[in-house]
Structure 1
Amino acid sequence: MGRSRRTLPEELLLLALDPATGTTAQPQSLDLGLAGAQLVELAMAGRIAPDGDRISVVMPRPTGDPTLDHALELLRRRGAPVRAVHWIGGPRLGLRQTYLAHLERCGMVHAVAGPMCGVLPTTRYQATDTAISREIRARLDTAIKTGVPPDPRTAALAALAHAVGLGKHLYPGNEGRSARSRLRDLIRHDPMGGLVAHAVMDVQNGAAAQPRRAQAPAARTPVPAHGRANAPQQAARGVAAQPHPGPMVRAVAR
């Protein structure tokens, strides 16, 4: 994969980067969106494929992009297909900072150190070529305004932007309500992007941690004959009848 084309995680991050403040919108959910964008990019590169709501590695050959190849190797090590919601919600948070450093190495952003609120040290990031960010935004605007089905990459970017909550950042206020609605509707134009976007939203809604199925009630231990014989006398004394534990009865807690 050459550097002539930006990857989907890079585009999502540049879309979220505020040119005025040098910070990213929706920083908490953006990590999830970047993990999802990696899956879509790997699918577009023919390295993985959806299998229902799961992801399978179909070609483990590296792409040449170090961040994508790290994700591909982690998927390969899983062996079996993994649910997209479990992958995105896994312990790989911090991707936002990883990709900011990646974009800085590629010369697409530059870091500006300075205090926050005049006190706390912080690092802000400015795009080195604002035309790139404008081009990414223009693709979304065109898809929203014209209603023409976008290409799969733009459709996936729109789906992820909606999933992480960038709609209010890109199209704020009441005047942006219809644009946000159309942004959400673009999720249907790319199956892989839609799968991943729904997984991102499920993680945010807590659906990644599925409750365990309730265990069937344990079979009641038979009451020995002498226990049944003593039951009337125990009941008469106001004592609940209890089974006498036989020598082979074992309580198993699962």
Structure 2
Amino acid sequence: MGRSRRTIPEELLLLALDPTTGTTAQPQSLDLGLAGAQLVELALAGRIAPDGDRIAVVMPRPTGDPTLDSALELLRRRGSPVRAVHWIGGPRLGLRQTYLTHLERCGMVHAVEGQMCGVLPTTRYQATETAISREIRARLDNAIRTGVPPDPRTAALAALAHAVGLGKHLYPGNEGRSSRSRLRDLIRHDPMGGLVAHAVMDVQNGAAAQPRRAQPAGAGPVRQSATRATAQPAAGVPVQSRHGRGSMARVGAR
């Protein structure tokens, strides 16, 4: 996999970054979304494929992306297809920070050091390549506005953005209600993205322990119960603490 193309986890994280505060929206569900986005990216690369509600490795050859290849190797070691909800709901310590560090290394974000409550050192991340973030957002806006079926990458990104609750971040207020609804409906345009997005919502709803039917290709919009559960905004936004790897501190929303 060439590095000229941004991966879906990278794009999802850039969508979630607040350009004003340098924090990520929906931090808890975003971690699940990044794990799910890795599955979609590996599927698009031909390394894995859905097997009902499970994920099977079909080509263990590395992609060339270290973070994706680490996930691929973990899946390969399972030896048999794994349920998407179990994979996404498993521990993914440091995954968000791994991608933030990668985006910083690529020059797409830069770290801003600060303090929380004047005591705890923190790090926020500001987008530097704003044109990239605008291009990603424009793809979603175009798919929502025109109603034309998007390409698989955009459809999967839309499904994940909805699943982690970014709709209210991207299209806030009453005026954004119809856009949030259309964002949700885009989930039906990519079977793999739909499977993963439903798995993300199931994990948030505590349904990982219960088997469920695979979502058929072309299925309609997500269940209302899942939509309501994921639409609630986070109580605050996180900042990265420099005290300990992957530790997070929460700042109350202002």
Instruction: Give TM-score, length-normalised by structure 1.
Output: 0.81
1:171 aligns with 2:179: no
Partner of 1:86: 86
RMSD between superposed Cα atoms in Å: 1.1
Q: Which runs of 4+ in 1 moved over 6 A?
A: none
Q: In structure 1, the residue corresponding to 2:42 is in which secondary structure?
A: helix
The equivalent residue for 2:65 is 65
Query: 2: distance between equivalents of 1:179 and 1:25?
Result: 18
Deviation at 1:178, TM superposition (A): 0.4
In 1, the alpha carbon distance for the partners of 2:32 and 2:94 equals 9
Question: Which residue number in structure 1 is paired with residue 13 of structure 2?
Answer: 13
Deviations 1:167-208 (A, max 9, x none): 000000011000000000000000000000000000000011
1:149 is matched with 149
Name structure 2 gaps, 5 residues minimum.
Answer: 212-254
More strand by share: 2
In the alignment, the residues of structure 2 paired with residue 111 and residue 135 of structure 1 have an alpha-carbon distance, to the nearest angstrom, of: 22
Give the Å deviation of 1:127: 1.3
> 1:192-207 to 2 correspondence within 5 Å?
192-207=192-207
- Counterparts of 1:21 and 1:64 in 2: how far apart (Å)? 33
Indicate if the aligned counterparts of 1:10 and 1:99 stay in contact, CA closer than 8 A: yes
Where do 1:1-254 residues align within 5 Å?
1-210=1-210
Partner secondary structure for residue 114 of structure 1 = strand
Structure 1 or 2, whichever has the larger Rg, is 1
- Aligned AA (1:68): L
Question: Do the aligned partners of 1:32 and 1:93 also contact (CA within 8 Å) in 2?
Answer: no
Q: Which runs of 5+ in 1 are unaligned?
A: 212-254
In structure 2, distance between residues paired with 1:139 and 1:118 = 39
**What is the percent sequence identity of the aligned residues?**
94
